[in-house]
């Protein structure tokens, strides 16, 4: 097998097998079939890259087909946005199609199915139909309208089409098998009555086809050879094939003239951590004004990513790296950010901007003097060239780049220490000016006149601790800078039972600051991308005007979330180690100090999943683990009700039975503070009474006191 064959993903292998079995290559045809009920998101990008990538690989047409069968949720705005996103990603479709193009044909086929005894009008309520359909372990039963005559079904169906009936009064169902082990085959819905305006057909139709019916038939009309969808449609494949069987001609005059019967294949969709992919939930964020529209740069929509500063190339590269698989998994959003950094690193010009400025005065630099210094645009691109950056006596630097008294390993500016200004001179901190509240307002420095970068002088070659970016105050251009971060603080915000995904919103996902940028950016246009040196990658937002520059932070130079995650994991692990000391120290004061230090650590951890996993992992018969889990209940940002009630009960029972008085005492104290109802606390009374009646050698007076308090609660 060649290296190229080995690299084929499983869908490519399916196509190769089809071709090897005699399927004509000129009959290969694919489609991307979005429903226009929202904006495309990063999950759709994987399907886009897959389908259009197959088209490019096999020189086959790829249709863009809008599955617009639900006018209650679909809008022209979404159609336009989807087309814009596809073009931005770099893909062109062969034909623009709509399921609504086929409404008459779908209706005619439904009539044929009624005549063939394969469909009927059901007049039950939705509740009755659900009950009649059975369960996964119990077969369904025939409904009272299943055996209506063909004539009655045709009359009712025409009445549905003509708008003679209210919504919900009748549906058309396929007549398949109410005892099927696949519940989707138990007489699924084909049509429902909807008195809604359609964005393309207006008010022409009062009935609309269901997705399962329309999708496969639309594939057949367009002669799609390989209908590729995500894994949740695996169980739908049997129904997909059944509907096709009702219209597919079994005989043909010749193999070359024979119509292609589409086949459905499923792949694992993209699941990304720190993100929600549900269009319903994304719509909720928009409708409740939690974000500023579908293209808010915090949204995982393609338009949001584009506005934030993502490149089409980085998204295509990301989809290529994650590949096409049959098994669901969760991809770390850091990989997407890595692909973006790699792309921007090659293409984004380096510029200087200061976002939290403090004034620097070079006291020995002549007043009124200006210089134009050479600055490299991008060291990764030898053709990017240089630009001129103005330098003067008064500059802005980042406030965090100065400390009056520097600790060890502080490689920035401080009194008595030297640093280099990027593309400029070496300066030395001399003194500061403070306001009445003690805040530094000015930093006085001196510069080495012979140390200009690139001048070739001995002084210019001198090594100093660090290099700072800066802007000349006289020439600086003021800008609004929007600092974006992840929208959610939890890695799986919509996966926790009894928790709303909105509970995990990141309160710091957007901060707006006033910054200053070098004058070369004064003519920057919407969509232009830059690296603000030492700060990250930024792009010009569409809100920007010639009189007011607006920049979005696209991504930092490093993965701050990975560093934060590792730091929090280390904090948890170190806190667990500290618990061991708790059992070894001699005095109560020492134990209190250890407990409070651990409590401070736990209170500072915001990662919901990390706390949940750590809590669950430490419910075991080890006294160290039990005490740690109790301290998570006591000190973490989570409430007791955030944990599974069964886990909390197990923890209390094991803790009350522990050999350690410290574990038992902490459990008793936590019970006193517990926000659960009294019935939950009372469920442990029997265990507590045992402690009272059968004290052990380790039982202390304090524990006895706590026992009485809980029993009297």
**Each residue of 474-495: pLDDT tens digit?**
999 999 999 999 999 998 999 8
- pLDDT value of residue 675: 62
Specify whether 705 is located in the same domain as 566. yes
Neighbours of 158 (CB within 10 A): 13
The HSE-up count of residue 445 (CA atoms within 13 Å, CB side) is 31
The HSE-up count of residue 186 (CA atoms within 13 Å, CB side) is 20
Specify whether 430 is located in the same domain as 503. no
- pLDDT value of residue 496: 85
Question: What count of residues does the chain have?
Answer: 713
On the question of pLDDT at 606 being above 50, the answer is: yes
41 appears as a binding residue in the annotation: yes
47 appears as a binding residue in the annotation: yes
Specify whether 615 is located in the same domain as 702. yes
Residue 404 placed within a domain: yes
- Give how many domains the chain has, as a whole number: 4
Q: What is the CATH number of the domain that holds 515?
A: 1.10.1160.10
Q: What is the CATH number of the domain that holds 423?
A: 2.40.240.10
170 appears as a binding residue in the annotation: no
pLDDT, average across residues 405-427: 94
> Strands 536-540, 529-532: parallel, antiparallel or unpaired by DSSP?
antiparallel
Residue 400 placed within a domain: yes
Specify whether 442 is located in the same domain as 489. no
pLDDT, average across residues 690-712: 84
pLDDT, average across residues 632-648: 87
Specify whether 339 is located in the same domain as 360. no
Residues 6+ apart with CB under 8 A from 265: 11, 14, 226, 227, 228, 229
- pLDDT value of residue 639: 83
pLDDT, average across residues 656-663: 90
**pLDDT, greater one: 281 or 645:** 281
Residue 677 pLDDT class (50, 70, 90 cuts): low
Determine the Cα–Cα distance for residues 312 and 44; give it in Å rounded to an integer: 13
**pLDDT, greater one: 683 or 57:** 57
625 appears as a binding residue in the annotation: no
Least confident of 181-195, 338-352, 388-402, 592-606: 592-606
Residue 287 pLDDT class (50, 70, 90 cuts): very high
Determine the Cα–Cα distance for residues 112 and 116; give it in Å rounded to an integer: 6
Proportion of the chain above pLDDT 90, given as a percent: 78
**Each residue of 426-447: pLDDT tens digit?**
999 999 999 999 999 999 999 9
- pLDDT value of residue 430: 97
Residue 695 pLDDT class (50, 70, 90 cuts): confident
**Where in the sequence is the domain holding 180, given as residue range(s)?**
103-211
- pLDDT value of residue 251: 43
Residue 394 placed within a domain: yes
- pLDDT value of residue 497: 79
Residue 52 placed within a domain: no
466 appears as a binding residue in the annotation: no
Q: Of 558, 573, 589, which closes a domain?
A: 558
Residues pairing with 434 in the sheet:
440
Specify whether 573 is located in the same domain as 706. yes
Residues 6+ apart with CB under 8 A from 235: 182, 184
- Dihedral angle sign, alpha carbons of residues 391, 393, 398, 400: positive
Mean pLDDT, the chain, integer:
93
pTM of the predicted model as reported, rounded to 2 decimal places: 0.86
Proportion of the chain above pLDDT 70, given as a percent: 97
Specify whether 626 is located in the same domain as 697. yes
- pLDDT value of residue 3: 43
Specify whether 529 is located in the same domain as 592. no
E-only strand ranges, 2-90: 30-32, 62-66
pLDDT, average across residues 368-394: 95
On the question of pLDDT at 253 being above 50, the answer is: no
Determine the Cα–Cα distance for residues 419 and 554; give it in Å rounded to an integer: 28
Determine the Cα–Cα distance for residues 327 and 191; give it in Å rounded to an integer: 33
211 appears as a binding residue in the annotation: yes
Q: Of 153, 185, 211, which closes a domain?
A: 211
Residue 61 placed within a domain: no
Residues labelled catalytic: 35, 269, 279
Specify whether 361 is located in the same domain as 449. yes
Specify whether 543 is located in the same domain as 400. no
Residue 440 placed within a domain: yes
Residue 334 pLDDT class (50, 70, 90 cuts): very high
Cβ(218)–Cβ(209) under 8 Å?
A: no
Phi-psi region of 534 (alpha: psi -120 to 50; beta: other; left: phi over 0): left
Residue 10 placed within a domain: no
414 appears as a binding residue in the annotation: no
Residue 676 pLDDT class (50, 70, 90 cuts): low
pLDDT, average across residues 175-185: 97
Cβ(62)–Cβ(53) under 8 Å?
A: no
Q: What is the CATH number of the domain that holds 107?
A: 3.90.800.10
- Listed residue (289, 282, 272) closest to 561, CA to CA: 272
**Each residue of 97-111: pLDDT tens digit?**
999 999 999 999 999
Specify whether 601 is located in the same domain as 706. yes
Q: Of 558, 588, 606, which closes a domain?
A: 558
Residue 4 pLDDT class (50, 70, 90 cuts): very low
Specify whether 552 is located in the same domain as 655. no
- pLDDT value of residue 680: 79
First-last CA distance in the chain: 74
């Amino acid at each position: 097998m060649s290296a190229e064959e080995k690299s084929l993903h499983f869908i490519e292998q399916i196509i190769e097998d089809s071709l090897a079995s005699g399927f004509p290559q000129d009959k290969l045809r694919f489609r991307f079939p979005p429903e226009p009920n929202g904006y495309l998101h990063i999950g759709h990008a994987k399907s886009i890259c897959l389908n259009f990538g197959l088209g490019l690989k096999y020189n086959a047409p790829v249709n863009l087909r809008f599955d617009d069968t639900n006018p209650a949720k679909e809008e022209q705005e979404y159609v336009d946005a989807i087309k814009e996103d596809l073009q931005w990603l770099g893909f062109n479709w062969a034909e623009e199609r709509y399921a609504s193009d086929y409404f008459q044909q779908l209706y005619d086929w439904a009539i044929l199915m009624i005549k063939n005894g394969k469909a009927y009008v059901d007049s039950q309520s939705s509740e009755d139909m659900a009950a009649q359909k059975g369960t996964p372990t119990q077969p369904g039963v025939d409904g009272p309208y299943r055996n209506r005559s063909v004539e009655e079904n045709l009359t009712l169906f025409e009445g549905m089409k003509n708008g003679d009936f209210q919504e919900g009064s009748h549906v058309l169902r396929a007549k398949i098998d109410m005892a099927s082990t696949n519940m989707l085959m138990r007489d699924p819905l084909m049509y429902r009555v909807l008195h809604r305006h359609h964005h393309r057909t207006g008010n022409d139709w009062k009935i609309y086809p269901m997705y399962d019916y329309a999708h496969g038939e639309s594939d057949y009309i367009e002669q799609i050879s390989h209908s590729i969808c995500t894994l949740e449609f695996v169980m739908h494949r049997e129904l997909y094939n059944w509907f096709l069987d009702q219209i597919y001609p079994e005989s043909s005059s010749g193999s070359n003239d024979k119509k292609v019967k589409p086949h459905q294949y499923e792949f694992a969709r993209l699941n990304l951590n720190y993100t929600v992919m549900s269009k319903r939930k994304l719509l909720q964020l928009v409708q409740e004004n939690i974000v500023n529209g579908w293209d808010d740069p915090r949204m995982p929509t393609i338009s949001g990513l584009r506005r934030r500063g993502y490149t089409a190339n980085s998204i295509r590269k990301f989809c290529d790296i994650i590949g096409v698989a049959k098994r669901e998994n969760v991809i770390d959003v850091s990989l997407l950010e890595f692909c973006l950094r790699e792309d921007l690193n090659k293409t984004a010009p380096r510029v200087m901007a200061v976002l939290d400025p403090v004034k620097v005065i070079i006291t020995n630099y002549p007043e009124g003097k200006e210089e134009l210094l050479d600055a490299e645009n991008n060291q990764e691109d030898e053709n990017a060239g240089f630009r001129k950056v103005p330098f003067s006596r008064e500059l802005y630097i980042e406030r965090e780049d100065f400390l009056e008294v520097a600790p060890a390993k502080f490689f920035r500016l401080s009194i008595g220490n030297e640093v280099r200004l990027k593309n400029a001179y070496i300066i030395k901190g001399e003194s500061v000016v403070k306001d009445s509240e003690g805040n530094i307002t000015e930093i006085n420095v001196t510069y080495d006149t012979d140390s200009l970068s690139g001048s070739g002088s001995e002084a210019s070659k001198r090594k100093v601790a660090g290099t700072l970016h800066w802007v000349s105050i006289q020439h600086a251009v003021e800008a609004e800078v929007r600092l974006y971060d992840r929208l959610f603080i939890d890695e799986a915000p919509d996966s926790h039972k009894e928790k709303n995904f909105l509970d995990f919103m990141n309160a710091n996902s957007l901060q707006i600051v006033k910054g200053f940028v070098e004058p070369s950016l004064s003519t920057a246009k919407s969509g232009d991308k830059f690296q603000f040196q030492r700060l990250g990658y930024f792009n010009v937002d569409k809100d920007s005007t010639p009189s007011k520059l607006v920049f979005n932070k696209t991504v930092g130079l490093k993965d701050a979330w990975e560093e934060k995650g590792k730091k929090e994991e280390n904090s948890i692990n170190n806190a667990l180690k500290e618990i061991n000391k708790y059992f070894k120290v001699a005095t109560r004061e020492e134990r209190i100090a250890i407990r409070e230090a651990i409590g401070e650590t736990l209170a500072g951890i915001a990662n919901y999943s990390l706390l949940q996993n750590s809590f669950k992992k430490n419910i075991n018969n080890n006294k160290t683990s039990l005490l740690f889990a109790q301290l998570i209940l006591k000190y973490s940002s989570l409430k007791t009700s955030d944990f599974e009630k069964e886990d909390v009960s197990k923890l209390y029972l094991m803790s009350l039975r522990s050999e350690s008085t410290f574990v038992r005492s902490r459990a008793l104290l936590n019970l006193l503070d517990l926000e659960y109802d009294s019935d939950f606390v009372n469920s442990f009374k029997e265990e507590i009474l045992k402690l009272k009646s059968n004290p052990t050698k380790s039982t202390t007076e304090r524990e006895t006191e706590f026992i009485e308090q809980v029993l009297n609660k």
